[in-house]
Chains A and B, each alone.
Chain A
Amino acid sequence: MSEEEKHKTDESRRQFLKNSGYFAGGLVGGGIIGSVIGWQIDDTNETKNQNEQANQGNGPNFNRALKFFKNRGVFERLAVATERIFPEDDHGPGAIDLGVPYFIDHELAGDYGNNERIYMSGPFHEGTPYQGFQSRLRRKEIFMEGLRVIESESQKEFDDSFVNLEGEQQDEILAKFANDEVNLRGVQASTFFGLLREATLAGAFSDPLYGGNTNMEGWRMKEFPGSQMSYMNEIENEDFVEMEPRALYDHLH
C-alpha cells in the first residue's frame, strides 16, 4: 500500500469512528482499539451525549459492553461489516450508530446464538437450496467462522485487515460471502452472510430494549411509530400520519 493510499484509509477510519461514537467507553481507558488503529479520542463530548441519550440521561449506558465476543478486534470487524450492510447516509444513522453490533453480540450470547429452537439432530447433509438451513453449527459458531474468514480473505486479497480496507474493498469481500465464492467450514458462506444481514436489520429495527435501534432512530427513518396501542382514531385518515415512536419501555414505566 502506498503512503497516499494508507493516508486515505486512515482518513476513512477516522471518519467512521467519529461518526460511530461507540468505542468511546473502551478508549477512554486507553483501549486496545485506539492503539491498534492509531486513533485517539478527540471528541468525548459528542460521544458522551450519544451514550446519555441512549440511556435516558442516567449516566453511562452499561448495556454497551460485550457478553459474547471476547476479542475487540473481532467485534470491530463485525461492526464494520454491519455498517457496510446498513450504512449511515442522509436518511440517518447506520448500523454502528444504531447499536447493531451490540445487539448482535447480545443475541449471540443467548437463545439465538445457541440455536435454542432449531432442530439440531443429525445426520447433516447439505441439501438442496429448497430445504433450508442444514448446518451442524450453532449461529454463534457460524458468526465466528464467518468473521474469521472475512479477515483471512481480506489479508489474501488486499494484504490488510478488513477494518482497514476501503469501503469498496470491504464490499468486495462481503459480496464473496453473499455469492458463495469463499469456503467456510460447516456452513455455506451465503448462509453466514444471510444471517449477518438479517441480524443487522433486526438490530436496526427491533425494539431498543434489545440494544439496537438506538433512540428509536431506526424506526424514525422508516416513519414507523413503534409500539402504539391503538390506531382506531387514525386508521381512516387520508394523509400520512406522523407520530413520535414509542417503545415497549412505555408499557412498564
Chain B
Amino acid sequence: MATTKDKVDVVTIGVGWTGGIIAAELSKAGYNVVGLERGEDRSTEDFQMMHDEYRYDLRHGLMQDTSKETITFRNNLDELALPMRQQGSFLLGSGVGGAGVHWNGQTWRFLPYDLEIKSMTEEKYGNKLGDEYTLQDWGITYDELEPYFYQFEQVAGISGEDNPKGAPRNNDYPTPPMKSTPILDLFKEATKNMGLHPFQMPSGNLSENYENPDGETIAQCQYCGFCERFGCEYGAKSSPNVTVIPTAKKTGNFELRTHSNVVEIIQEGGKATGVRYVDVLSGEEFIQPADVVVLTSYVLNNTRLLLQSNIGQPYNPETGEGVIGKNYCYQILPGAAGFFEEKKFNTFMGAGSLGATVDDYNGDNFDHSDLDFIHGGSISITQTGRRPIASNVTPSGTPSWGAEFKKNAIKYHNRTLNVTSQGASMPHRNNYMDLDPTYKDYYGNPLLRLTYDFTEQDRKLHEYITQVCAEIMGEMGADIIEEAEMSEHYDIVPYQTTHNTGGVIMGADSQTSAVNNYLQMWDSESLFVVGASAFAHNGGYNPTGTVGALAYRAAEGIQKYLENGGGQLVKSKSKSRLT
C-alpha cells in the first residue's frame, strides 16, 4: 500500500534543467513545490575527481543505469524491437541536474522558421516533402518566444556574440564570447573567405564570473577539456545545479526528494491529481498529490509516463491518429574530417561549447527552390577537449588495430580537425514511440519502444551539408579530407547526440498536438509536459536553449493556471477530442 503525502501545489517528475526551472519559478512565486528525482543528489563538490575519461566518458559514470531502465529499439515497424542494453547513440542523464550536469552548454535559439515550419515551407515551396512527413507548426511564433529565450540565457549567463544569420535578439548575451583559439580562427578565416558569416558559438561555459538575476554565481570557465560528459569542478558550466536548483532551495518553498522514481501519473476526472513513486532505497511506495503535475523527465520518459498512465491518445502510425509518441525526431550529423600533415593543434584543451559557427546553411537561410530537401543545419568547429581513449581517429584505409593503426592514431591525434553540422531532423509518420509489448523495467513497467530510421529528406540534407563542410575543410587547408557518411540505417550504438525530440508535441490544435503553447496538456489541464518532447521537429541546433525558453513559458502558464484556479490556458483550433 502506498503512503499518501500531504498535497502540494506543484510536483515535478525529474529535476534536471526543466524540472529545476519550473521549481525555481514556482517556488519564487510562493507556491510549494516538490521535486521528485530518481537519481542521487550532487553538486560541484562531487565533481572533484572528474578528469577521468574512463569512468565518466566510457563507463558513463554520471548517467542513467540501463540495467534498471532503458528503451527498446527497431528501425521499422516490421522489425522486432530489442532492448538498448547499454547507452550508445544518446546518453540519458540521471541524478539531480539531469543531463544538464554533463552537457556541453552549446545554447541556441531555434529560428523563426522552425516555429512556423509548415506554413513557411508551404508558402514558399509547396508541399515539397509530401504527406509522409508530418511537419507541423509549433503553435507559437518566434516573437512570442523571444523573451523566454532571453530569460533562460540570463539565468544561465550565456556567453556569446551576434549571429548575423541567427534568430533576431532584443538584447545582447549576458556575457561576452569565450576566447577564440587558433583552431577557431582557422575556421573563421576559411568561412569568411567563402563569403559565409562566422561567429563565436553561444556558450554555457562562461567567459567570465557572472551573477545571474536570481543571485546565483557562475564561475569563469578554465577550458579544462573535461566538459562534455563531465560535471564542472569549478561551477563554471551553466547547469541546474549551480543556478535554478539552489534558487528554488533558497525560497524555502522547494523540497527536493532524491531516489524517488515516479511510476505513474494519477489521473482523476480528466485531470492529473498527483503521482505515484517508489523510494528506490527503501522500496516504499508513495503518492504525492498536487494541484499541478509537471512532467520534466526528459523526452523519452515524458512520453513513456503518459502512455503508462493512459493519458492522451497514443499515436498510431498505421492511421496517423493519436498524438502521444508522435513526431519523434533526432539530429542529422553531416560533417567532414580534415587531417593536417604539417600542423599540430592543441586539441586536448577546450570547453564543451568552445566553438565557431556559420548559419548560412541553416533553416531557410539558403534557397531550397532547386533542392529536394528542406531545412539544413548550423555548421561548426568545436574545441571541446579531445581525449585519448575515445578518440583514435585515423584516415580511412587504416586498419582498426595493429601496428599501422597505432602509428596513425598517434600521429593524427593532434592533427585532425572536424567541421560538423547539427542537421535538422524532420518528422516522418513511421518514426515514433510507444510501449514495448515484451520488455519491462526494474519496476515491472513496460519499456518505451522507439521505432526510428533515417529518411530520404535526412539523406539529402546530409549529403548537401556534408559537401559544404568538406569545402570549408578544404579552405582550412587540410591535407586529407574525409566526408561523413550516413549509415544505411540509424544505428543505436555509436554516440551521435542526446538531442532526442518529440513524442508530446506542442501545437495549436488538440487533434494533432498533445500540449498547447504553455505545454499544458489538451487532455489533462493540470498536467504540463516540459522538454524537447514538445518539439514538433528538431531544428538545426542543439536543443536546450529552446527547451529552456519553453520551460520558462510553461512556468508562466502554470502560475496563470494556479491563479485562475484551473482551466485551459489556450483554446484549441479544433475541439478537443474529449469535450
Q: Which residues on A are within 8 Å of B, measured CB to CB? A: 84-87, 89, 91, 94, 111-112, 115-121, 123, 125, 127-134, 171, 174, 178, 197-198, 200-202, 204-207, 209-210, 218-219, 221-232, 234-238, 240-241, 248, 251
B387 to chain A, nearest CB (A): 7
Q: Among B2-10, B62-70, B476-484, which stretch is in contact with chain A? A: B62-70
Is the beta-carbon distance between B346 and A240 smaller than 8 angstroms?
Answer: yes
Is the beta-carbon distance between A132 and B388 smaller than 8 angstroms?
Answer: no
A sample of 30 inter-chain contacts (CB < 8 A) reads A85-B401, A91-B407, A118-B85, A119-B70, A121-B440, A125-B80, A127-B82, A128-B79, A130-B492, A131-B492, A132-B73, A134-B85, A197-B401, A201-B389, A205-B53, A206-B52, A206-B389, A210-B54, A218-B388, A222-B388, A223-B344, A223-B348, A223-B414, A227-B51, A230-B222, A231-B224, A231-B350, A232-B222, A235-B349, A251-B51
Residue numbers in B under 8 Å from A248 (CB-CB): 49, 51-52
Which of A121, A131, A221, A223 is the most central at the interface, judged by chain B CB atoms within 10 Å of its CB? A131
Within 8 A of A (CB), among B208-223: 222-223
Is the beta-carbon distance between A121 and B439 smaller than 8 angstroms?
Answer: yes
B402 CB within 8 Å of chain A: yes
The SS class assigned to the A binding surface is loop
Residue numbers in B under 8 Å from A123 (CB-CB): 438
Binary A-proximity of B486-512 (CB < 8 A = 1, otherwise 0): 010111110000000000000000000
Q: Which residue of A116, A219, A235 contacts B223 across the interface (Cβ within 8 Å)?
A: A235
Is the beta-carbon distance between B349 and A234 smaller than 8 angstroms?
Answer: yes
Residue numbers in A under 8 Å from B226 (CB-CB): 227
Is the beta-carbon distance between B54 and A130 smaller than 8 angstroms?
Answer: no
Residue numbers in A under 8 Å from B387 (CB-CB): 205, 224
With A232-B223, A235-B346 in contact, do A131 and B58 touch (Cβ < 8 Å)? no
- How many B residues have CB within 8 A of the partner chain? 64
A217 to chain B, nearest CB (A): 12
With A87-B403, A119-B66, A132-B84 in contact, do A207 and B348 touch (Cβ < 8 Å)? no
Is the beta-carbon distance between B223 and A230 smaller than 8 angstroms?
Answer: yes
Is the beta-carbon distance between B53 and A207 smaller than 8 angstroms?
Answer: yes
Residue numbers in A under 8 Å from B438 (CB-CB): 123
With A229-B224, A232-B222 in contact, do A201 and B392 touch (Cβ < 8 Å)? yes
Residue numbers in B under 8 Å from A178 (CB-CB): 400-401
Q: Which residue of A118, A125, A129, A171 contacts B491 across the interface (Cβ within 8 Å)?
A: A129
With A119-B86, A121-B440 in contact, do A251 and B66 touch (Cβ < 8 Å)? no
Is the beta-carbon distance between A207 and B222 smaller than 8 angstroms?
Answer: no
Q: Among B13-21, B178-186, B245-253, B286-294, which stretch is in contact with chain A? A: B178-186
B449 to chain A, nearest CB (A): 12
B73 to chain A, nearest CB (A): 6
Is the beta-carbon distance between A241 and B346 smaller than 8 angstroms?
Answer: yes
